[in-house]
Each structure stands twice: as C-alpha cells, then as structure tokens.
Structure 1
C-alpha cells in the first residue's frame, strides 16, 4: 500500500510540475528557466515545512504513509531538488558543513557533467541515425 501512496503522490507532483512550469513560461517567457527555479524553490519549501511539522519534534502527527505520500511522492514528483535541499539542510544542522558544501558542489558539478554527457550521447546517436538513414 505504501508504494501506491508514493505513486499517487508522484503522479500529483508531476502534473503540478508540468502545470507550474507551463504557467511560468506563459507568464515570464522561456529565456530563463523561471518555471524550474520556482518549482525547485517551492518544492524545497514544501518538503522543509512538511518534514518539520511532521517530524519527531513536529506538532502534526501523521501516519508514516502520509509522510511518504507528501515527501517522496508529491515533492519527489514535483522536484527532486526538494529532497536534495532537505538532506543538505540536515547535514548543516548536524554541523557537517564540509559534507553539506560537498553535496552542493558535487551535485551541481556532477549534474552538469551528467546533462552534458547525456547531450553529447544524444547528439552522437542522432548523428549516427541520420547517417544510417542517408546510407552513410
């Protein structure tokens, strides 16, 4: 049952991400990824708020499946950046500033390398397919 709650939350988060991104692009244009920035900041805020309110020291008692529905499902479907932000905050709160900085730097650098590598691989595949169609 837990997996179904997470899946349902993920579906809701994904639809919300698409709607928010589309609305931001319509409102602000597409020259800067405002939708992504708004989604990442908003998702980070929501997961931080909900995790704090429902955590061991929180004042809102919810069943474990409800926590997973919101944090893993909805926030995970909306943005994984929210999970990254919460984990980095937890490192900072426990005094692991070096680990927090490493997580931030590593995530940005490695994700940029990953997206670049995916772009290069996709471009190479596109080129190979184009050559195959032309008989080359």
Structure 2
C-alpha cells in the first residue's frame, strides 16, 4: 500500500477520538471483500514512538457465533464497561500485549490490539477502552 494512503488520518472523519491512551491516530484503512475487519484505525506514539494500538471494526456476521479463546499462553477475563461486555486477553498485565473485544449490542463490534510496551498495563488498556466507548 502506498505510504500516502496510510498518512491521511488527520484529513478523514472518524467516529473515534484523535488520541487514545496517549497515542495519536496515524492511519485508517478500509477493508473490502471477505475480511472480518471492516476498518482499522492505527494509533502510534508513546516513549520512543514504538507503541501501537489498533482499533478494528468487526463484522459480527462474518465471525463465529461464539468466540473461543486461543490455546496460546495468555490470561483472559471478562468485564463490563459502559454496559458493554468486554473480553480482555494479555500475556503480562503490566506490559501487554492486549487483545480486547467489545461485544456491542449493535454492529459493528470493536476489537483493540496493542503492542507490548512499558506502561501498557491493565489500567492503561481499560482507560483506552473507556475513551473508545465514550465516543460511541
């Protein structure tokens, strides 16, 4: 993909905030065809500029009826935020990486994926999810 297509996030209208978890919205991609991901919003920044947060809009019609946890080593928990059920998965509760699915009553569902980094704790991901849900 052409780099210019990735760097026009500031010029696009988006239903999400320009910053999440202290990271700046850097790129937006739209997916067509048979992808379960309808759109991806990429947030970047943090110390050293190495932190990433990816927000996916998911098409629930193309997902399995019941989400199953992967067999890889990780920890899972279910929570509720803004009356929305959330499934959180991580390797380390202080550094991530995080994988969160917000199972909204209406489509599309939301998924948040993060890189592992310093200060990407459970509190940080919950604050980021709260920022996403406050915009909805």
Alignment TM-score > 0.5, same fold: no
- TM-score, structure 1 normalization: 0.23
Query: Whose RCO is larger (CA < 8 A, sep 6+)?
Result: 1
Which is richer in strand?
2
Which is richer in helix?
1
Structure possessing the higher radius of gyration over alpha carbons: 1
- TM-score, structure 2 normalization: 0.23
